[in-house]
Structure 1
């Protein structure tokens, strides 16, 4: 009998185990120049240890990103709690030149007390600052975007200027890749990046104390594919315990499981993925990818029982040939656009 990998199994959105709030909450995103002296990841872990306790006490949820020498923080919760947090941030010597880029009331996206991440970037600090100011100016004019769009525009921008990226992102096809075993999703992404002569963006996420402390997530942009471009995001299995994965599930066109010969592994990952999707209003297509012999009727029936669509990207008898995997998957993704 196989040994199912012992990844964190907490895939429910609310960390308390209760149902997520359906009420509108305050939502605010700001950017500030990072003044941390020393390793940023170590400092973010210290921030996490303090924030997890305090945020839960005030029903505040936070995502904090470091990129290009800047912090970007997304806060959700009662407006009074957000104002109190912003007053503390304004006095925090780790932040300078704070700019609010979004503020609104609306449906929540963050269902963990704290999410932290560090993203590599090829752009300069000055280029990032210009994108911050463009979003800040739009916000001041009352022409801002939804918080998820603002966050992506800063932390994982689409190719092109911030205004172009935000305007076109609604039709930009986002696809998550996860492997039932090994690192097949990441291997496929790297192979495709080499083939397409494009760079892979690497990110590291640190969750709340009970979550996986470090999770890798890579993405590859293919702007010439699909109707308006395609982004493939490879996530580690343990990333299903991360609040940031949950926050952006509604934005995926498809969630792809790179299957394994071990049926138990396939069913275990699918079950965790379906449980993570249970609160998503827009439900993405679930795609199984692999050799014919790796599929089973139980995968389809389990998916459809949860009200989601199951699609199969079959490679015939060929297993781990990356070109075969990609062309089988591409045919399915092209049909979704």
Structure 2
């Protein structure tokens, strides 16, 4: 079940969802349900999987605890589950009005009533990572390709902001958390680019910590290319490359990997580590892993779509 409710609240949506997380997790571990919650403007989207009674119990707890309006049904089906954890939380932070979210919900609601056969993950993706190019339609998300830029710390997000400033694109920020109640929520960001041939590219920035969590909450069920910004100071240290290997192992299709570093030894080490870990061919790129040199290198990659 995927449904959405108008949410009248005070304070941070993420903090409210994190406060609900332990009780929802406990109930889910008891009844076997899995739940994902998405806050977007004044709306809350719920995605529940499990036995019918368990799904209803999860929905009812969320509705009661958060004081939500009656939910709109966006998707309902019987089939294998998709969610990877008992409870996951996401928040979309973009400059738009609640009415923009309402229009997306109305579109999805009508499509469901008319028999649209989209799965729950497609419905979720249309809401958790809507296209920023105008004339919104679910199919526009990552229509041509999805490129993720990953780094040890915040270099990927800094690079994304610089790319957006160059192209005039809008950066959208996301927050999300998994079932570990001891960990805080994590951040990510994305932007959409339209090319001269009307093709589109989604560019997503991810940190090492973000890679370790459920990236399906960010709408990243498919990656066409993965650009890894590798700091020479991490040479020989486990960390980012381990998370990259685990991420690739979870994806249904393996992306082309570009390894960016100014250091030849670091590039060679990274290529060997990824080839040995996931058996992938890796394309090395001799360029800075941060700053304007990295921005130019990634811009050139995107232009070669």
> TM-score, normalising length from structure 1?
0.79
Q: Which moved more, 1:76-85 or 1:133-142?
A: 76-85
Structure 1 residue 101: deviation in Å? 0.9
User: CA-atom RMSD, angstroms?
Assistant: 2.7
Residue from 4, 13, 35 that aligns with 2:8: 35
Which residue does the alignment assign to 2:258? 287
Structure 1 residue 259: deviation in Å? 0.9
Residue from 140, 143, 148 that aligns with 1:168: 140
Structure 1 residue 132: deviation in Å? 0.3
The answer as to 2:230 corresponding to 1:256 is: no
The 1-side partners of 2:196 and 2:47 are apart by 30
Q: Is the CA contact 2:149–2:204 (under 8 Å) kept in the aligned structure 1? A: yes
The answer as to 2:24 corresponding to 1:51 is: yes
Q: What secondary structure sits across from 1:283 in the alignment?
A: coil
The 2-side partners of 1:225 and 1:47 are apart by 46
Structure 1 residue 230: deviation in Å? 1.3
CA 1:107–1:223: 2 relative to 1, 3 Å: farther
The 1-side partners of 2:179 and 2:240 are apart by 22
Q: What secondary structure sits across from 1:198 in the alignment?
A: coil
Task: Please list, as runs of the form range in 1=range in 2, the aligned pairs for 1:86-101 lying within 5 A after superposition.
Answer: 86-89=59-62, 94-101=67-74
Q: Is the CA contact 1:313–1:332 (under 8 Å) kept in the aligned structure 2? A: no
The 2-side partners of 1:214 and 1:170 are apart by 24
Residue from 87, 94, 101 that aligns with 1:121: 94
Which residue does the alignment assign to 1:137? 110
CA 1:246–1:226: 2 relative to 1, 3 Å: farther
The answer as to 2:297 corresponding to 1:328 is: yes
- 1:121-162 CA deviation, whole Å, 9 max, x = no partner? 222112211210110111011114232221122222113334
Q: What secondary structure sits across from 1:161 in the alignment?
A: coil
Q: Is the CA contact 1:102–1:144 (under 8 Å) kept in the aligned structure 2? A: no
The 1-side partners of 2:281 and 2:182 are apart by 29
Give the length in aligned residue pairs: 303
CA 1:135–1:248: 2 relative to 1, 3 Å: closer
Task: Please list, as runs of the form range in 1=range in 2, the aligned pairs for 1:170-185 lying within 5 A after superposition.
Answer: 171-180=143-152, 182-185=153-156
Report which structure shows greater RCO (CA 8 Å, sep ≥6).
1
- 1:212-245 CA deviation, whole Å, 9 max, x = no partner? 3121111122123786211211122211232245
Structure 1 residue 249: deviation in Å? 4.7
Which residue does the alignment assign to 1:74? 47
Q: Is the CA contact 1:176–1:233 (under 8 Å) kept in the aligned structure 2? A: yes
Q: Is the CA contact 1:31–1:100 (under 8 Å) kept in the aligned structure 2? A: yes
- 1:242-270 CA deviation, whole Å, 9 max, x = no partner? 22457755311122211111243765211
Residue from 297, 304, 320 that aligns with 2:275: 304
Q: Which moved more, 1:153-162 or 1:222-231?
A: 222-231
The answer as to 2:122 corresponding to 1:149 is: yes
Runs of at least 5 residues in structure 1 that lack an aligned partner in the other structure: 1-27
Which residue does the alignment assign to 2:35? 62
Which residue does the alignment assign to 1:213? 184
CA 1:98–1:191: 2 relative to 1, 3 Å: same
Q: Is the CA contact 1:206–1:214 (under 8 Å) kept in the aligned structure 2? A: yes
